[in-house]
Amino acid sequence: MRRIPPLLLFLLVAIPDKHGNAVVAKDEAECEGWATSGECNLNPTYMLQHCPEACEIQAELDRAMADDIEKKIGHINSFFELEARNIDKELVKFDQFRGKVTVITNVASYCGEFVSYFTQRSFYANDKYTLDLNTTTIGYTESHYNGLVKLYEQFKAEDFNILAFPCNQFGKQEPEECPAIKRFAKKKGVDFTMMDKVDVNGFEAHPVYHYLKKVAGPYVVSPSGSVQSLSGVEPLDLVPYILEAISEQDEL
């Protein structure tokens, strides 16, 4: 079910007082839910006016979580120090992607909404480009998987990889376990690397996603590279950016 944004919900819950003036129905549970989902940052004016306590509590929780996450990944200085399990539970060391172009994406077996952003970065001489198609556009599993398959077919002859992480955090669209997900991906013609099912948001998110969000946020520019974030993109929309990355890769 699609979540109703706070401003719209405000119109639904406003009720008149005895003088006929609109009064917002304050609901602690609603405020807590909105704060937890990030509305204090997305809609600060509304939230700080109507749910200040919930925002204050959430800010404390966010700071504590950030400290805990830093303890988990603070020792990681490079993308190539990361590792994760593939869909067969085999360890994949990211050092093998050094000098290559990589797309990292979360995927799901059932259609619905997913979010996408593209990240390009070059932090070290041999750390060329990582493209993170990590989920804010409405789309469907069908087009998402098909787009990734076409993207991989187009660039697999280059030093190019796709790492697809199944995730159930977006609308519960991936309830299956890895064996079933692997069969589903095979039916879709997937020849790129399917990874283990993980969380990509919150404290329990996989360290790969914690690290990407830390060093490749939408407004971070490194001394030797750049970061781009693209909202509302399909996989094939990344083609010109991959071509640019491959072109610059050849020049290094």
Under a CB-based contact definition with an 8 Å cutoff, are residues 143 and 234 in contact? Answer: yes
Q: Alpha-carbon distance 249 to 74, whole Å?
A: 28
Q: Alpha-carbon distance 129 to 103, whole Å?
A: 9
**DSSP 8-state assignment for residue 5:** P
Judged by DSSP in three states, 92 sits in strand
55 in catalytic set = no
What number of helices (H) and strands (E) belong to the chain?
9, 10
User: And the tokens for 215?
Assistant: 């060093």
Judged by DSSP in three states, 126 sits in coil
- Among candidate residues 31, 51, 55, 111, the one labeled active-site is 111
**DSSP 8-state assignment for residue 124:** B
Longest dimension (CA), the chain: 72
Backbone angles phi, psi at 10, to 5 degrees: -55, -40
CB atoms within 10 A of CB 74: 10
Active site residues: 111
